Structure 1
Amino acid sequence: ANTLFNIWIKYKPRLPEWYYNEKLLKVGDSLVQIKEYKLALLQCYGRYLQQFISVNPDDIIDDVHQFKSTFFPNGITRKRRSNVLFHALQERNICIYQMVCNSDRSLQKEESLQTCFNVLSSLRLTMQVALPQESLCWLTYNGTIHIYTICRHLMMIGQSAKVLEYLLWASICMESSIPLLSVHYLTWRATLYTAVSQCYFDCQASIHGEIFARRGLIKIDELKQLSNISSSLENSETKKIFREATVKMSVMIFKRAVYESRRKPKSYFRPKLRVSLKEAQNLPWPRTTTERLLTEMFDSAAAQFLAILEALSDSSRHVLHPTPPVTDEIEIRDVVSELFFAGLEILSGNSIKKQKELNIFVITAGEKGVSGDAAVKFIKLAFSYEEWHVFDSAIEFVVHFLQAQDDPTWKKAEMELKLLTLMQPLLFPRKFKHGFSISENTTKEARLPHGSENKQAFGKSSLKHGEPSHDLMILATTVFSCVSASKQNIQPDKGMLVDVIMFLWQKCKMGLQQIQLCGSDCLKYIHRYKAYQWVRVLWIINEVIQKSIITDINVVILAEITLCLTTLLENVADS
């Protein structure tokens, strides 16, 4: 920082102002590329903006008149100067956001959240001033990307209600800039429309989500008509763009329509006998009301599968906290079952054969067919909804696909499915007491690395099948393997890791509760209650937290885990 500071001080009086400013920002852009955000902010973008104002730019994030009088007192006249200034303002905001993420990735602190919203307001203000200038359409476009990126991050932590206005603004900006209305930018515009609809669904305002999606569909159709008028020949790339945008909007419409079309008034008489899905299994596609709606709205299995995933997705659900549909309406529960029924049929390839789409693979890593990521998400949803038949059936197809992939990035999905399979009998011991098997490869991977046994101050005790902690030990050693044995530093989803760790910790607390009250008689109780294994699990929990750098675990719980392990080790050493 000092070196860069000295360079700017030394060369500023020797260079033309315009050249100096351009180099200042160019160095800043280079620093951003190597993720030196603080240095870029202080020594490049901040230094450039100091030439125009003496106040903090954060103090003018919502007053357009003050913004114009501060940065453009004579109006936006000089193109080069305006481009450089707008670029500096926008990049400054991105640096601030990235610095917040580096220090608080999960945005758990209130000041981190507030900073993000200040950045969004500042980006919106900059775009508002630049929007009337067609020559600055690049800034509007980049601004929508930055707003979307930040908003998606905030949506993941439950801030959909607050980010909705910014996503709406980004969508309107894309519609208000003539250069950005072209077909070339339609895919991005549809992505913004989808994000707005998703926000409405997250806020339990599904009707507004559907209305906005239908509005987006109208806008897409208007552009298609204009495109047909201006050009009689529609190439394959243009057709693909319109098709993808239409599918995105249709999926959001389906997300609500599939449920609302089946709702009945409370006074409506419900027949006791309903069509069994088992009976419908051998019928030709479409077999159910849900499948008929899928067929009407989507013309390919991949689009139908995407619609199923979106209809089942719920931001309030956690994979490892499975619950059946929380509703008293029989029809809604039927829809959920039918969605999984249809998804499994598509995943197995049967629906594709029935729809005569024999030219695509069912699960694929490429563009055609159902993507591997979508298939993995479907399995997670089945687990979340306690659709165990679907879960057990679908996992066979997906594991076969994952094992055939050479790309190491698929190992992450394989780890996650392995953890789900191991968690199933632990969460529902009566249902799945012997409901799964661990292959030889899995058992090998689940073992602690060579030499790690030496770190433990305990003797080994054999685990016989049927002991209460047997499945728990397999889960613990497997999660340890997932975070420590991966050469590419590929780990399961952080949220899943946190849930597994918390589950193991709760089990440990119950198992060690009596031992912790025993004081000097600890060893006697260790032998009686097989606490060597519990302490081993506790050690694994601590190691997994350290190796995976899980920041989402409450620091109080982390301290409690460490203190508990330390106390037990001291008791063993003193005995």
Structure 2
Amino acid sequence: RAPCSGGFLADFEDIILFYDFYSATSLFNIWTKYAPRLPADYYNEKLLKVGDSLCEMKEYKLALLQCYGRYLQQFTINFDENKADVNQFKTAFFPKGFGDKNAAHTFHALSGKNICHYELVCDSDVNLQNKDSVTQCLHILSSLRLIMQVALPQEHLCWIIFNGTIYIYTICRKLMIVGQSSKALEYLLWASTCMEFSVPLLSVRYLTWRATLYTAVCQCYYDCQAGIHGEAFARRALAKIDELRQLELMSSSQSQEESRRHYREATIKMAVMIFKRGVFESRRKNKSFFRPKIRVNLREAQTLPWPRTVTERLLDEMFDSTASRFLAVLEALSDSNRRTLQTGPIVTDEVEIRDVVSELFMAGKELLISK
């Protein structure tokens, strides 16, 4: 078939996926020779589509070099995204503005490049044990943030914002797992803020994802031993969720069952983050005045009906189901800075805190049995 008809690329798209790296490189060289004879939009679309297919096959290096990187070669080669501001970024990659027909392809290629870079970093250092690996992840996060900064004022580019939050969350979760929550926090905060400022994303449809981002921010604060900020952010997020609920109630459409489910799920996630600190802080001894210690005999309490302790009463006040109460217990007992199920008692001089931990374990056991 004549190359100008597009038939060659249609065949090439299938053929390229079955070759090894070196054979694929040779095929790409052949493909490039036909580029001037094809419509630029068609060529770029096929180039990026093959890159996406290669990513699905985990051929990240090939996708980066021969697809996303090949597309981005038309722009400034020596541009450093980690040192550039928004205006420089727009000038380098979007000289004709966002109304240009190639803008979507450029965003696509930039995002694909970052994801490939991240996957290659993980392939070479799965647990990010090397300092350089963490640094590369932070550079990727900075690049994603810059892309989102450029796209945020443009409502029709909300898909860039949504995808960007997913990419940021994925990388930050990895950083959190390897003990780098302090470095992930600012990017998760940015992702959460973007979801709030992008008008098309302010709908019930995206509420579950917003709540997931909010929860990750809270967990970062707790990992950084800044529980007071984690609880404060959870309360702020709860207020944002309630704002959305009020806006929906004022609209002409009635709240459907699916919407109620989304609100309930998001509210529970935030309540769990509040409970995580509140269950302990409500029991801490106030040193400004003296009060006698009133301790519950937990062995005797086990024979009593639920709620048997202060902790269980708080669970009843904040949650209305066994599953949500058990989730709250698990989150309250989890701590990335220590082993939860250690053989000895929790290391603290505060008797009240040790009592809370014991009550949480007792509540968790009862919730499992009742379930």
TM-score, normalised to structure 1, is 0.59
Separation of aligned partners in 1, 2:145 and 2:344? 40
Aligned counterpart for 1:165 among listed residues 178, 186, 193: 186
Counterpart residue number, 1:177? 198
Counterpart residue number, 1:53? 76
Counterpart residue number, 2:91? 69
Question: Does 1:282 pair with 2:279?
Answer: no
Separation of aligned partners in 1, 2:196 and 2:254? 25
Counterpart residue number, 2:218? 197
- For residues 32-111 of structure 1, the aligned pairs below 5 Å read 32-55=55-78, 57-60=79-82, 62-78=84-100, 80-111=101-132
Separation of aligned partners in 1, 2:344 and 2:40? 64
Counterpart residue number, 1:222? 243
TM-score, normalised to structure 2, is 0.90
Separation of aligned partners in 2, 1:328 and 1:134? 53
Shift of the 322–22 alpha-carbon distance from structure 1 to 2, 3 Å rule, reads: farther
Separation of aligned partners in 2, 1:120 and 1:279? 53
Kept in 2, the 8 Å contact 1:61–1:125? The answer is no
1:272 Cα deviation from its structure 2 partner? 6.1
Counterpart residue number, 1:150? 171
Question: Does 1:264 pair with 2:285?
Answer: yes
1:62 Cα deviation from its structure 2 partner? 4.3
Kept in 1, the 8 Å contact 2:82–2:142? The answer is no
Largest Rg, 1 or 2: 1
Write out per-residue CA displacement over residues 520-573 of structure 1, whole angstroms, 9 at most, x where no aligned residue.
xxxxxxxxxxxxxxxxxxxxxxxxxxxxxxxxxxxxxxxxxxxxxxxxxxxxxx
Separation of aligned partners in 2, 1:323 and 1:5? 62
Separation of aligned partners in 2, 1:339 and 1:82? 53
Aligned counterpart for 1:305 among listed residues 319, 326, 330: 326
Write out per-residue CA displacement over residues 214-270 of structure 1, whole angstroms, 9 at most, x where no aligned residue.
000001111111111214522211111000000000000000100000001346546
RMSD over equivalenced CA pairs, Å: 1.6
Question: Does 1:31 pair with 2:48?
Answer: no
Separation of aligned partners in 1, 2:198 and 2:171? 22
1:64 Cα deviation from its structure 2 partner? 1.4
Counterpart residue number, 2:233? 212
1:285 Cα deviation from its structure 2 partner? 1.1
- For residues 232-247 of structure 1, the aligned pairs below 5 Å read 232-247=253-268
1:106 Cα deviation from its structure 2 partner? 0.4
Kept in 1, the 8 Å contact 2:68–2:109? The answer is yes
Aligned AA for 1:77?
G
Separation of aligned partners in 1, 2:113 and 2:130? 21
Separation of aligned partners in 2, 1:69 and 1:224? 40
Write out per-residue CA displacement over residues 51-101 of structure 1, whole angstroms, 9 at most, x where no aligned residue.
11222x5444542121111112232221x3111100100110000000000
Kept in 2, the 8 Å contact 1:259–1:335? The answer is yes
Counterpart residue number, 1:296? 317
Runs of 4+ in 1 over 3 A off after TM superposition: 57-62, 266-273, 318-323
Identity of aligned residues (%): 68
Aligned counterpart for 1:120 among listed residues 141, 156, 159: 141
Counterpart residue number, 1:8? 31
Question: Does 1:20 pair with 2:65?
Answer: no
Separation of aligned partners in 2, 1:273 and 1:224? 41
Shift of the 273–77 alpha-carbon distance from structure 1 to 2, 3 Å rule, reads: closer
Shift of the 199–106 alpha-carbon distance from structure 1 to 2, 3 Å rule, reads: same
Kept in 1, the 8 Å contact 2:25–2:66? The answer is no
| Structure 2: segments with no counterpart, 5+ residues | 1-23
Counterpart residue number, 1:463? none
Separation of aligned partners in 2, 1:51 and 1:320? 56
Separation of aligned partners in 2, 1:220 and 1:267? 36
Aligned AA for 2:336?
S
| Structure 1: segments with no counterpart, 5+ residues | 350-361, 363-575
- For residues 136-535 of structure 1, the aligned pairs below 5 Å read 136-266=157-287, 269=290, 271=292, 274-318=295-339, 322-349=343-370, 362=371
1:279 Cα deviation from its structure 2 partner? 1.1
